[in-house]
Amino acid sequence: MKLISEFVDYAVEPVIVEQNEKGVKEYFIEGPFMQAEIKNRNGRVYPKDIMKKEVNRYVKEFVEKDRAFGELGHPEGPTINLDKVSHMITKLEEDGNNFMGRAKILSTPNGEIVKNLINDGAKLGVSSRGLGSLEQKNGAQYVKGDFQLATAADIVADPSAPEAFVEGIMEGVEWVYENNILKAVEVEKMRNDLRTAKLNKLEEVKLNVWKKFVRNL
């Protein structure tokens, strides 16, 4: 399966609750987190039935159990890094072909950065992250039924440059579960090719690894 990261072309709206029951100011973001049945800027289409099924699973297993976390920025893999978490998704609901979300900004180091950005009037976006296979048809890449969400929303600012990097470096990698641990197969294979290369073939192997890396950009 490949890492799939999608930016939604809408800025999420910040919502500030002046005080909760504990007298603490709370911050939320809300808006469309994911979209189905349209060809997005990455040339991919998420069939509604596939997205709906996976969102329902994600809500049941993560949102309803208060463990649907997201990070600030574009992580380079499919796992959630707790030391980089900035928010917790508290709602994700179907609205036509959109899936509308709401996330609470947490009191983590990255969460505090998000709060300060909101205070200063920054426009923030969200980017979903998951694993899945793709099928080329009708001039687009269709996400297949093995799609799994890692998070419905990472918080991002300018999606263009970071997303190009994530797609080129990490989305070209095949991810598999091995002993319940996600491994980047292509990266490991490249490293293994270099480790096992004979000395008189090392430069040739290095060149082949570089060519393979460039093809994924």
Residue 127: active-site member: yes
| Helices and strands in the chain, H and E counts | 5, 13
**Residue that wins the pLDDT comparison between 144 and 175:** 144
**Active-site residue, 87 included:** no
Which listed residue (5, 74, 87, 128) is catalytic? 74
**In this structure, are 149 and 191 located in the same domain?**
no
- Is residue 128's pLDDT more than 70? yes
In the numeric block, which tokens belong to residue 23?
Answer: 């007298």
The per-residue DSSP string of 70-89 comes to EEBS--SSSS--GGGEEEEE
- Tell me, yes or no, whether 142 and 187 share the same domain: no
- Of 5, 86, 127, 128, the active-site residue reads 127
Average pLDDT over residues 55-73: 97
Structural domains of the chain, count: 2
Residues spanned by the domain of 211: 183-215
User: Is residue 171 in some structural domain?
Assistant: no
Question: Within a domain: residue 187?
Answer: yes
Q: Is the pLDDT of residue 117 over 70?
A: yes
The mean pLDDT of 37-59, rounded to a whole number, is: 93
Q: Helix (H, G, I), strand (E, B), or coil: what is residue 68? A: coil
Residue at 148 is within a domain: yes
Asked if the structure places residue 175 within a domain, the reply is: no
- Could you write out the DSSP letters of every residue in 18-47? S--TTS--EEEEEEEEEE-SS--TTSEE--
| pTM, full prediction | 0.73
The SS3 assignment for 23 reads coil
